[in-house]
Structure 1
Amino acid sequence: MLAACGSGSEGSDGNRQDDAGPPQSGGSATIVQTSEPRRLDPALMSNDLGTNALVGNSLYGQLLRMDAKGKVQYGLAKSLTTSDGGTTWKLKLRDGLKFSDGTPLDAAAVKFNWARLADPKVGSQSAPYAGLVTDMTPSGQDLDFKLSLPVNHFEAAIAQSLNWIASPRALRGSAQSFDAEPVGAGPFVLGSWTRSGPMVLKRNPAYYDSSRPYLDELVLTANSDSVQRAATVKSGGADAGFVNQHTQAEKEGMNVASPKLGGGLFMAFNARTAPFDDVRARQAVAQAVDREAVLRTLTPGGAAEAPATLYADGSPYNGDNTLPEYDKAAAQKLFDELAAEGEPVRFTITSYPTTEGKRTVEAIQSQLNQYENVQVEVEVLDFSAAVGKTVQKTFQLITSGLYPGVQPGLALYLGLHSKSPGNLSGVEDRALDAALLKGLAATGEAEQTEAFQEVGRLFGELTPGMIYTRYELGLGWKDQLHGVELYGNAGIRTDTLWVSK
């Protein structure tokens, strides 16, 4: 998938048990996140640390989760099974579930939410996942559904993008009324929210697990500057915050956990239009950029090792395949070859307005403009405009993300298959399509490994984009906070958090 997917953690283990003893109930914790949501509608949020994972998991909880090894853990749901290898499924919910407004959380509510996610008028980033679901039949707490193609590990899709279920009655009301009083079945309910200020979440007494959440209150603030977020935690202004420079945060006495997703931040080439409709232009740029030099501009004095593989380090899915390496001579040869044919490489890089994003594209521009027969411009757009270019596929080179995760089949299919609406680059290749479908439906580990290794080989050959760094955002927390647990595709539980008294 482009822009967000995976499991596990780097740095400290996000699921680790410390020596603080059994969880203590009560108290309040403050976490500083990167930004606040524009809306509290679960269809308009994403389950990612960098965006809305804290808010969504607090208000809506999880149907299910995936641990670092890909094993399913159940929350509001109690089972998910397939009868035919990935096309026909049954989701069973726990009995007696209630939304915070007292209405039942049943299979009909799940159907309503999933159908809404797939509706183009809603504009959800989860639409590619929800669009695979067909023929939903609810009966009490059981939802029978089919997929438009076999997906052997559909639990990964649910954990990532179909996990948050809100009250249908509340969603049928106005957007303003829902934002004022969002209705879910998560561990917390909204106490108060001052736009551009703190969001105060209060313990939900009707949560399905009566022993949790442990906290009485969770306060969320926002700061887009990673250095300031870390400084806030260090100074005691927050119990935890999202950090980019893990090594520095650990030196300053924080515990750090971050997802181990493979892939990473991704400069996506638009192969639908010049100059990147020619694979040689894509290969030239990928070889021309010293990715480690780019990283050094982002984290002076920090680690600067660019990813060498599509999948997470050590994954058997990598095989002998590697990403294109920095090679100035090879890049210049390709630039010259294209110019000799009358097609010099000229393009614009589009960036989101974050400090790190601007510095990244400017560093890439500076390197590329040192070559002959290539000319690069940069445009920095606000979030809505950048998202618009992404959705409309009107960019030439844009910042995004590709995260295979622990069960990479669906993420890779949605991000790379020629018929997928989530295929940001627009690369079309029959061999790649075949390998993606094989990996999606594979039931045995050997078959999966063979398919995903072939995807990795073709990714390097076709160069739909340039992965320049792994997912770097993590949660840094001080010793008084406990119960940090990441799950799935950069999601985070909040019902397990507690503070020492």
Structure 2
Amino acid sequence: MPPRIPRRTLAARLGAAAAVLTLALTACGGSSGGKSGKQPGDGLTSATARTGGSLTVNIVTESRGLDPFTGTLSSVADYSRLNALYDVLVYGDAKTGQVKPQLAESLTTPDGGRTWKLVVRDGVKFSDGTVLDAAAVKFTWDRMADPAARSLYGSSLRGVTTRVVDARTLDISLAQVNARFDQVVAAHLAYVVSPTAYQKDPQGFARKPVGAGPFTLKEWVQGDHQTYVRNPGYWQPGKPYLDEVTFRTITDQQQSFNSVSTGGADMAITLDARNASAAKNAGFDVTEMALNGPGGVLFNMAKPPFDDPRARKALALALDPDAFTKMMYDGQVVTPKSLFAATSTQIDQAAVPPRTQDKAQAADLVRQLAADGKTLDFTLLMPASTNSSKTAEYLQQQWNLIPGISARVSTVEIGALTAKVLVNRDYQAVYYNIATPGEPLLWNTLHSGSPNNWLGYKSPAADAALEASRAATTPEALKTAYTKLAQVTADDVVMIPLQESITFTYAKPNRFGGLELTTGGAILMDRLGHTGS
């Protein structure tokens, strides 16, 4: 039995758990490389939605809970569900990368990120008829920050204090400057619960949520589906367009594709590139949302063998990234070089050298380790998924060609993988995905002072770059800080980046329109609807 983890420590370690479903479902993601006579997503993003009708969406994972504290904030988990139930204070616009207001009228800082002011829209009500005001935001954030709540995202409120100024205004003070705090709110703090409903039944709220979103929960059949109906008191007149939305849980992506093909569902959200490629080839409308970060191999640097950077570098040198890309994606994607996507404009891509294969140097590093009495004998954790087997076979084969490397692969069910990696930190290497626009995932995962640093990574240079990124008040300063972070983590071989991270949304053509996504790949549910064609 693993040792019992104190509740405060457990809550802190779960702070990064939103990313795990991305981890578990993106081994072998990447660009779909599909062929189609039209641009992907033409219909979904450009067609005008009309009022009325229903929608059935296939999604990969079941919900742990439908509250902001335990819901899993991932494009293939609860992001879109919670958007439907709660709406969002602010969101990252996938087209521009900028944070935009929704339930909030504004979120601004007068001093470069030390303090912030949140102004809530006038006239917004929860579906129970109570008012969504600044006090409701404070209540939600205070509850989230309380270790007793065991919130997945409470760490995003460390060092944050709030004060209700008036009914619509919340003053926010940070212990450390963070000019990117609006991104933190968009990623982890955007959902507000009804204090009245929550206080009536704290234990049952996750099953009976009350928010101010465009929809309310009608039915939840565990492991099968959740059905939502239009909220008649929604704050935007004429919205949402849809009368009803059903999210069906289907983990098998071939089954999900087949159900859309045969009319059993209208739409699907997936990270499976081959699934999306099949949808393109079938003539479906397909939207690709490239997340700003790669998938690849990450290490537990708090214990052997990967506490020694030579071990990490040996594994990286044993692999040919271009050969991997050719094998997995027919060479149609650009291999990432760092923790940032190969297409990211947040860093100076030319400042990070490309990874190259050098088996002789890899073997030499293994000999150095052996001379110091260290063995490169380890297990790579992979999600239990048909999508990951080909990747696992390739990695294991290439590593074991180097004398002195003994690599095993262990496939683990998604829920168990979450606990093993993020909670108990009982792993050596894992196939993972760092998909983020920056805040708060990079800080949470990499800063030595973060309780969510499950990598066990400690680097003064990386800490300084992360702190500089939070202090940056211009795009140029932010790019400089992130470029330094990319360089440092590449030199330290924090990750062996292997693939792009992309969320795909697909549907039969010319049926739905108004699709708008956030930077996290979530659907803004108030805008989506039938086209009438």
TM-score scaled by length of structure 1: 0.91
Superposition CA RMSD, Å: 2.6
Count of aligned residue pairs for this structure pair = 494
CA distance in 1, matches of 2:255, 2:401: 34
Q: After superposition, where does 1:150-161 map in structure 2 within 5 Å?
A: 150-161=177-188
Stretch moving more, 288-297 or 141-150: 288-297
2:58 counterpart SS class: strand
Show the counterpart of 1:114.
141
Show the counterpart of 1:96.
123
* Alpha-carbon contact 1:298-1:356 (below 8 Å) kept: no
Show the counterpart of 1:378.
409
* Alpha-carbon contact 1:159-1:489 (below 8 Å) kept: no
CA distance in 2, matches of 1:332, 1:10: 32
**Per-residue deviation, 1:248:** 3.2
AA matched with 1:403: A
1:473 counterpart SS class: strand
CA distance in 1, matches of 2:134, 2:358: 55
Aligned pair 1:48/2:74, yes or no? yes
1:44 counterpart SS class: coil
Show the counterpart of 1:287.
317
CA distance in 2, matches of 1:373, 1:429: 28
**Percent same amino acid among aligned pairs?**
33
CA distance in 1, matches of 2:51, 2:436: 37
Aligned pair 1:58/2:73, yes or no? no
**Per-residue deviation, 1:13:** 7.3
2:149 counterpart SS class: coil
Show the counterpart of 1:445.
475
What does the per-residue CA deviation read over 1:322-358, in whole Å, with 9 as the maximum and x for residues that have no partner?
Answer: 4533332322221222122221201122233333345
CA distance in 2, matches of 1:443, 1:483: 33
2:269 counterpart SS class: strand
Aligned pair 1:417/2:417, yes or no? no
Stretch moving more, 343-352 or 74-83: 343-352
What does the per-residue CA deviation read over 1:189-220, in whole Å, with 9 as the maximum and x for residues that have no partner?
Answer: 01112122221110001111021100001111
Cα 1:219–1:185 shift into 2, 3 Å: same
Show the counterpart of 2:340.
311
Cα 1:239–1:292 shift into 2, 3 Å: farther
The equivalent position to 1:402 in structure 2, one of 418, 423, 434, is 434
* Alpha-carbon contact 2:90-2:103 (below 8 Å) kept: yes
* Alpha-carbon contact 1:266-1:467 (below 8 Å) kept: yes
Show the counterpart of 1:454.
484
* Alpha-carbon contact 1:112-1:168 (below 8 Å) kept: yes
* Alpha-carbon contact 2:291-2:502 (below 8 Å) kept: no
AA matched with 1:311: F
Aligned pair 1:26/2:57, yes or no? no
2:211 counterpart SS class: coil
CA distance in 2, matches of 1:97, 1:464: 45
Aligned pair 1:254/2:281, yes or no? no
Q: After superposition, where does 1:50-449 map in structure 2 within 5 Å?
A: 50-67=76-93, 68-137=95-164, 139-174=166-201, 177-243=204-270, 244-245=272-273, 246-291=276-321, 303=332, 305-312=334-341, 313=343, 315=345, 317-320=347-350, 321-322=352-353, 324-389=355-420, 390-405=422-437, 408=438, 410-449=440-479
CA distance in 2, matches of 1:59, 1:449: 35
Cα 1:289–1:10 shift into 2, 3 Å: closer
**Per-residue deviation, 1:385:** 2.7
CA distance in 1, matches of 2:46, 2:123: 35
CA distance in 2, matches of 1:295, 1:455: 24
Cα 1:297–1:194 shift into 2, 3 Å: farther
**Per-residue deviation, 1:255:** 2.0
Show the counterpart of 2:9.
none
CA distance in 1, matches of 2:446, 2:166: 35
2:377 counterpart SS class: strand
The runs of 5 or more residues in structure 2 that have no matched partner are 1-15, 23-29, 33-38
* Alpha-carbon contact 2:70-2:152 (below 8 Å) kept: yes
Stretch moving more, 75-84 or 337-346: 337-346
CA distance in 2, matches of 1:436, 1:33: 34
The runs of 5 or more residues in structure 1 that have no matched partner are none
AA matched with 2:372: E
Cα 1:424–1:373 shift into 2, 3 Å: same
**Per-residue deviation, 1:225:** 1.8
2:303 counterpart SS class: coil
Aligned pair 1:38/2:64, yes or no? yes
CA distance in 2, matches of 1:302, 1:240: 28
CA distance in 2, matches of 1:483, 1:262: 23
* Alpha-carbon contact 2:59-2:268 (below 8 Å) kept: yes
TM-score scaled by length of structure 2: 0.86
Stretch moving more, 67-76 or 158-167: 67-76
2:368 counterpart SS class: helix
2:369 counterpart SS class: helix
CA distance in 2, matches of 1:126, 1:101: 25
Aligned pair 1:476/2:503, yes or no? no
CA distance in 1, matches of 2:433, 2:148: 24
Show the counterpart of 2:530.
499
Cα 1:227–1:153 shift into 2, 3 Å: same
CA distance in 2, matches of 1:298, 1:57: 33
Stretch moving more, 129-138 or 147-156: 129-138
* Alpha-carbon contact 2:40-2:285 (below 8 Å) kept: no
CA distance in 2, matches of 1:330, 1:112: 56
Cα 1:192–1:64 shift into 2, 3 Å: same
CA distance in 1, matches of 2:353, 2:200: 50
What does the per-residue CA deviation read over 1:241-276, in whole Å, with 9 as the maximum and x for residues that have no partner?
Answer: 023223332121122223322222242211111111
* Alpha-carbon contact 1:368-1:375 (below 8 Å) kept: yes
CA distance in 1, matches of 2:331, 2:262: 22
AA matched with 1:195: Q
Cα 1:195–1:342 shift into 2, 3 Å: same
**Per-residue deviation, 1:297:** 7.0
